[in-house]
Structure 1
Amino acid sequence: MPRLISIPILTICLFTVTYAVNLQSPLYPAYALQGGAAATSVTVAFAAYVGGLMPTLLLLGGLSDRIGRRYPIALALCLGAAATLLLMQFPSWNTLVIARVLLGIGTGLATTSGTAYMTELLGMAQARTAALVVTSATSLGFGGGALATSISLGLQGQTFLPASYLSLVVIAPLLAILALALPRADVPRPVSPLRLPYFPAGTWVFGAAMALAWSTTGMTIAIVPLELAAKGLQGWIGLVVFLAIFVGFLCQPLARRMQNGSALTVGFVLVPLGFAILLVGVWMNALALVLIGTCVTSAASYGFTYLSSLAEVSLRAGPDRARATAGLFVYAYFGFSVPVVAAGALADWLGRLPAMAAFAVAQIVITIVVSHIWKGRLRRSDIGKE
């Protein structure tokens, strides 16, 4: 298969894997109501995704170095279809938890192998372009699934069988077959299939930034929908989840024109600023502020921070690009899950708004500390060069 065709097919495959991940987000309140789940239960089910993804990143991040890039991507597509079909057949809160675990495993397999594969297809000289393609495809996927279900519910009414679910179940297996037909661009390596992530020297701050940024996205996807549903605004949940990711996609071309360090700095500023605006919007019951704050955090999380981090890690990883990508996502998904679960527990104790406020304070403090340490090390490094 010509590479001119292979790159679009790989891009669509990565989009579809991540499209499946947030497909259920607009139905979270309905699943929770059906199962009588509290805020903690909601965030634990949300974090079940990371429960499947994190072991995959920790143990199988370098699997594609051994078996090739195509097979993990095809398997990820099949897992996404299986998880969605499971929810269609048995719509319940417990089933959602199982589905989220399967989706986590699929995302871990696809993002590590997909990033390395795209770089190999485009060539090392275009590593930043490869990172842009991957971040664009996955950002659109993460946001597009939630929007598709929201639109489906708007057209069909409240249902546990939205058309968006059906589209994924039909398309994903077909794409899995196409993925297996893609050309092999990597050189097989006789390495163990169980390989730990790799953390290239000097990339810790990009990992920390990803953890901070994606913890904000996790709060927006998990906690904010509960608050919107409680205020009778559940019709806006899909749009909020979509904006939480899509605006970042729109900012990626701008981030690409910047140095990775400069883009990271912009992310450090926008993440706490955006969540502060969102928090005020929730507090004042002002939907416009919620949407604006969501857009600002999205610009940081999936725009400046995501692209600069993935590009920097890819450039520094050498032949261990798949394992290095796994290492970056270990940071990211630690932030995506642990603070959200903690906030859910705090929400059951104090209420959702105080829990969001506590998260905002912690976020600001950690951002200041991390950026201060990073800038201090950069200054010392510059002095050492003189």
Structure 2
Amino acid sequence: MSVREKTLPHSEPGTRKRFPRVSRATGFAGVSAAMVAILVAAGAPTPLLPIYEKEWGFAPWLLTLAFGVYALALLVAILVIGSLSDHIGRRPLMIGALGLELVAMLVFLFSPSIGWLIVARVIQGIATGAASSTLSAAVVELAPERHKKLGALMTGMAPLAGLGIGALFAGLLAQFVSGAAFAVWLVLVVVMALGTLFTAFTPETSTRKPGALASLVPRVSVPAQVRTLFVSTLPGTISAFMTMALFLGLVPIVLASVFAVKNPLVGALAAFVTFGAGTVVSAVTGAVRPHRLRVLGSGAMTIGAVLFVGSVGAGALPLVWAAAVLGGAGLGASFAGTTRGLVPEVKPHERAGLFAAIYLVAYLAMGLSAIVAGLFVDVVGVRAVAAGFGVVLAIAALAGVVATTRRA
């Protein structure tokens, strides 16, 4: 590891201290890895929660609650802490977010009941929300000057790739390792501890400025010039994040209850296929016009949702895999088309409020859809809830096609 000496940017005159810092290239690699690790940890509970359900004997709706509260906690953190690093610097917030993620991993590791798992998910949601904007900004700023596009590509691909890798990682351990849940969280405890330690040695890329307390007041705004376009993207954003809720929170329950698939690796693979497809589509469609991306994405999610409903009704497991591929590709295309279409149309100082508005819609759709679905599981059963969720998702995605086409 190459190490250089750097003066702390906030050292007082006459008391300047020299502190070891890794090079910017090393910092870029390490912070990129930390960003992926945060999302890997977010995807890890998908195959593990059904194992906890079997061992502890709690109601299935608590699984979707554990997923839903994570999304809502993440949303609150993004809205409140999202721009704090612009005022206090990237490194302090990165250290704090990764340290809080470490706390969440420890709570998971020693959880004795579903109540503690839900607490861990709330802490994890806050940590992920705090880390997302800060790590993304640091990755872009630390990227080598000749490879700035690589930084932007990392921030675009890491969320979907990390969620898929996390589900697959936990699913593989659940399949082949005795006491898999403990092993998963133990590995992630070590990873987060190393990540927290590493960020203490990364170069600071943002100067401090006043207004830290004022920045904690959520600012959600849609600039006038993109309001009509923003409204037309809402069905696509809602259906994209409902697709994420479906394959992260509901499909593992459906596989166990409807298809009698008890192997946690199957649910993990379904999530991995979904987010893998989304990652690939996001990476290879840079030259596609945002409008076309939104139409294709919403269309793919519509077909995927219909296939999922058909799989539940007919008991046809292969249709779940087809739904995962189309749904994942659709969510990747739709959300990429949304951000690529909106962001260039606003001024730099308007982007924070715009992203807050996008994520407000996105994570409310993800969290509330999972919680509502869970509440109905005990009333009408898993099969009916799964079919109803798929129908609502298909309607939302189809509305995305219509709204985007009419906008054009």
Question: Given the two structures, how large is their TM-score scaled by the length of structure 1?
Answer: 0.88
* Partner Cα separation in structure 1 for residue 339 and residue 29 of structure 2: 20
Change in CA separation of 1:112 and 1:198 when aligned onto 2, cut-off 3 Å: farther
Q: Deviations over 1:72-118 (max 9, x none)?
A: 33222222222122122224211110010011001111112233333
Contact 1:63–1:195 (Cα < 8 Å) also in 2 = no
* Partner amino acid, structure 1, of 2:256: A
Query: Is structure 2 residue 218 aligned with structure 1 residue 188?
Result: no
Change in CA separation of 1:334 and 1:356 when aligned onto 2, cut-off 3 Å: same
Partner of 1:104: 125
Larger Rg: 2
* Partner amino acid, structure 2, of 1:220: F
Query: Is structure 2 residue 143 aligned with structure 1 residue 114?
Result: no
Which of 305, 311, 316 is matched with 1:275 structurally? Answer: 305
* Partner Cα separation in structure 1 for residue 386 and residue 59 of structure 2: 16
Contact 1:16–1:77 (Cα < 8 Å) also in 2 = no
- Spell out the pairing of 1:1-386 with structure 2 (5 A cutoff): 1-122=22-143, 130-157=151-178, 159-162=180-183, 164-191=184-211, 192-201=214-223, 202=226, 203-230=230-257, 231-235=260-264, 236-301=266-331, 303-315=332-344, 316=346, 318-319=348-349, 321-378=351-408
* Partner Cα separation in structure 1 for residue 254 and residue 272 of structure 2: 17
Name stretches of at least 5 consecutive residues in structure 2 with no aligned partner: 1-21
* Partner Cα separation in structure 2 for residue 174 and residue 19 of structure 1: 15
Aligned residues: 376
Change in CA separation of 1:120 and 1:308 when aligned onto 2, cut-off 3 Å: farther
* Partner amino acid, structure 2, of 1:75: G
Q: Deviations over 1:207-260 (max 9, x none)?
A: 542221111220222121112123034331211122221221122222222122
* Partner amino acid, structure 2, of 1:170: V
Contact 1:54–1:108 (Cα < 8 Å) also in 2 = yes
* Partner Cα separation in structure 2 for residue 352 and residue 186 of structure 1: 49
Partner of 2:4: none
**Per-residue deviation at 1:64?**
1.5
* Partner amino acid, structure 2, of 1:211: I
* Partner amino acid, structure 2, of 1:362: V
Which of 113-122 and 141-150 deviates more?
113-122
Percentage identity across paired residues of the two chains: 23
**Per-residue deviation at 1:270?**
0.9
**Runs ≥4 residues deviating over 6 A:** 123-128
* Partner Cα separation in structure 2 for residue 211 and residue 189 of structure 1: 35
Change in CA separation of 1:198 and 1:114 when aligned onto 2, cut-off 3 Å: farther
* Partner Cα separation in structure 2 for residue 145 and residue 135 of structure 1: 17
**Per-residue deviation at 1:356?**
2.2
* Partner Cα separation in structure 1 for residue 297 and residue 272 of structure 2: 19
Change in CA separation of 1:279 and 1:58 when aligned onto 2, cut-off 3 Å: same
* Partner Cα separation in structure 2 for residue 186 and residue 65 of structure 1: 7
* Partner amino acid, structure 2, of 1:225: P
* Partner amino acid, structure 2, of 1:222: G
SS of aligned partner of 1:161? helix
* Partner Cα separation in structure 2 for residue 176 and residue 275 of structure 1: 39
* Partner amino acid, structure 1, of 2:138: Y
Partner of 1:382: none
SS of aligned partner of 1:288? helix
* Partner Cα separation in structure 2 for residue 329 and residue 86 of structure 1: 27
**Per-residue deviation at 1:17?**
0.9
SS of aligned partner of 2:309? helix
* Partner Cα separation in structure 2 for residue 119 and residue 260 of structure 1: 22
Contact 1:213–1:305 (Cα < 8 Å) also in 2 = yes
Change in CA separation of 1:313 and 1:117 when aligned onto 2, cut-off 3 Å: farther
Change in CA separation of 1:266 and 1:45 when aligned onto 2, cut-off 3 Å: same
Change in CA separation of 1:144 and 1:324 when aligned onto 2, cut-off 3 Å: same
RMSD over aligned Cα atoms: 2.6
**Per-residue deviation at 1:129?**
5.4
Partner of 1:383: none
* Partner Cα separation in structure 1 for residue 190 and residue 249 of structure 2: 27
**Per-residue deviation at 1:294?**
0.9
Contact 2:295–2:404 (Cα < 8 Å) also in 1 = no
Which of 219-228 and 182-191 deviates more?
182-191
Question: Given the two structures, how large is their TM-score scaled by the length of structure 2?
Answer: 0.83
Change in CA separation of 1:133 and 1:200 when aligned onto 2, cut-off 3 Å: farther
SS of aligned partner of 1:359? helix
